[in-house]
Amino acid sequence: MAFEYQESVLIKVRVARKTEAATDVCAFELASLDGHALPGFTAGAHIDVHLANGLIRQYSLCNDPSETHRYRIGVLREVQSRGGSVAMHALAEGDELLISEPRNHFALVDSAQRTLLLAGGIGITPLLAMARALSAQSASFELHYCVREPARAAFREEIETSALGANAHLYYDSAPIDARANLSAIVGVPESGRHLYVCGPAGFIEAVLSIARGLGWPETHLHKEYFAAATPPVSEGGAFRVKLASTGQIVEVGEHQSVIESLEAAGVIVPTSCEQGVCGTCLTRVLAGEPDHRDMYLTDEERAANDQFLPCCSRSKTSELVLDL
Ligand code: FES
């Protein structure tokens, strides 16, 4: 018997505007087909974009969360694209797309008194929405944006010429060494009420987090969003089985198969997107057994609870996992 996850509501939109935001980065404005308002979102939210080639890709919304007439995303053409960014860059104004409603796994903490935003490259997109929201609330924040060279700094002009400019600092790897970002000085010592948000390439995120931890920042004040794993997690290991709680069906997971692949072969479809343990799309509840977590999505506390896992990359430490499927 095949059964599927409840599909989330999809919205049909059109590409209302496509512009070049920097070298290899296109900005897209997506609007509803009938001119009606789009569902609201909060800073840090992303949408799933369903592409014609069957791929689903997630992009953070970078516009002001108070806007309802458009969603704005920025897409870097990846050198080693698996097809998503190339398909996005091929879109033209007027093209229609299916997208999900916005979801937010990277939300601002309401109680923060000061906010430190650190962006590496295209990681600027969710942080730009956060900076706009914080600026609109006259909240205390700093935006630090590290990028290879000025031509690759997406949205640079609108950051520098808008109200965000007074709180924004841009750093270029191409600059003389003393003008480049000094991450330790930027992160600084922890203060109660100060929260740090970082987004960008995995190496950048790990560098920022390791500095912050070394300076004594508590985990509860560190917030991160990965775009891709630095090294995709190894989804191979010893064989085990998963049991579907709803029917009792047993599915064997071979040494060289992921749980997703084994489930698919048994006719059980779990939605996926990144297939690298980064996005959370395949998150599945675990009712019994102990997962072998290999993702970069769950927090340490969520991992320790062992009641959910990411079957695109994670495995099992026990011979059986009972899944809420
Ligand atoms: Fe992205 Fe599994 S598909 S975490």
Establish if 53 belongs to a structural domain.
yes
- The CATH number assigned to the domain holding 23 equals 2.40.30.10
Asked if residue 127 and residue 47 are part of one domain, the reply reads: no
Is the shortest distance between the CB of 279 and ligand 1 below 6 Å?
A: yes
- 250 found inside a domain: yes
247 domain residue, yes or no:
yes
Rounded Cα distance between 125 and 77, Å, is 14
Query: Is 218 in the same domain as 186?
Result: yes
d(CA 298, CA 312): 13
Examine the fold and report which residue of 175, 195, 226 is the final residue of a domain before the chain moves on.
226
Q: Note down the domain range covering 278.
A: 240-323
Nearest CA to ligand 1 atom 4: 277
CB of 275 closer than 6 A to ligand 1?
yes
Is residue 313, in this structure, part of any structural domain at all? yes
Atom of ligand 1 nearest to the CA of 272: 3
Q: Exposed/middle/buried for 284, CB within 10 Å: 0-12, 13-18, 19+?
A: buried
Pocket lining: 273 vs ligand 1, CB cutoff 6 Å = yes
Q: Give yes or no: residues 120 and 221 share one domain.
A: yes
Distance 124 CA to ligand 1 centre (A): 22
Domain match, 296 and 192 both: no
The structure tokens 């750093």 sit at: 171
Number of domains making up the chain: 3
Instruction: Please report whether residue 108 resides in a domain.
Output: no
Tell how far the Cα of 41 is from the centroid of ligand 1, in angstroms.
22
* Residue 50 and residue 143 in one domain: no
How do strand 222-226 and strand 194-200 relate by DSSP bridges?
parallel
- Identify the domain boundary among 158, 192, 226: 226
Q: Is the CB of 116 under 6 A from ligand 1?
A: no
Q: How far is the CA of 260 from the centre of ligand 1 (A)?
A: 10
Cβ(100) to ligand 1 under 6 A?
Answer: no
Measure the CA dihedral 195/201/207/208, to 10°: -10
Distance CA 226, CA 38 (A): 26
Identify the CA nearest to 61 among candidates 50, 48, 52.
48
- pLDDT confidence of residue 233: 67
Burial class (CB in 10 A: 0-12, 13-18, 19+), 35: exposed
Q: Whole-model pTM?
A: 0.81
In the 8-state DSSP scheme, what is residue 103?
B
Tokens of 3: 């059964």
Of 103, 227, 272, 323, the one to substitute when testing ligand 1's pocket (max ligand atoms within 8 A of C-beta) is 272
Q: What is the CATH number of the domain that holds 288?
A: 3.10.20.30
By most ligand atoms within 8 Å of CB, the mutation choice from 273, 293, 308 for ligand 1 is: 273
Q: Which secondary-structure segment (H or E) carries 18?
A: strand 10-22
Query: Are 30 and 122 part of one and the same domain?
Result: no
Parallel/antiparallel/unpaired status of strands 46-50 and 96-100: antiparallel
The residue among 175, 198, 226 that closes a domain is 226
The answer to whether position 155 is within a domain reads yes
257 shares its domain with 211? no
In terms of domains, do 180 and 81 share one?
no
Q: According to the model, what pLDDT value does residue 105 have?
A: 86
Same domain, 313 and 266: yes
- How close is the Cα of 263 to the center of ligand 1, in Å? 14
Both 74 and 118 in one domain: the answer is no
For residues 130 and 215, membership in a common domain is answered with yes
Q: Is residue 301 part of a domain?
A: yes
CA of 16 to the centre of ligand 1 (A): 29
Q: What is the C-alpha to C-alpha distance for residues 197 and 123, in angstroms, rounded to an integer?
A: 11
Intervals of the chain under pLDDT 50: 1-6
Same domain, 75 and 119: no
233 is a domain residue? no
**Measured in angstroms, how far is the CA atom of residue 13 from the centroid of ligand 1?**
24
The pLDDT value recorded for residue 3 is: 37
User: 274 CB under 6 A from ligand 1?
Assistant: yes
225 Cβ inside 6 Å of ligand 1: no
CATH of the domain at 214: 3.40.50.80
Please tell me the distance between residue 310's alpha carbon and the centre of ligand 1 in angstroms: 6
Contacts of 72 (CB under 8 A, 6+ apart): 27, 28, 29, 30, 61, 62, 63
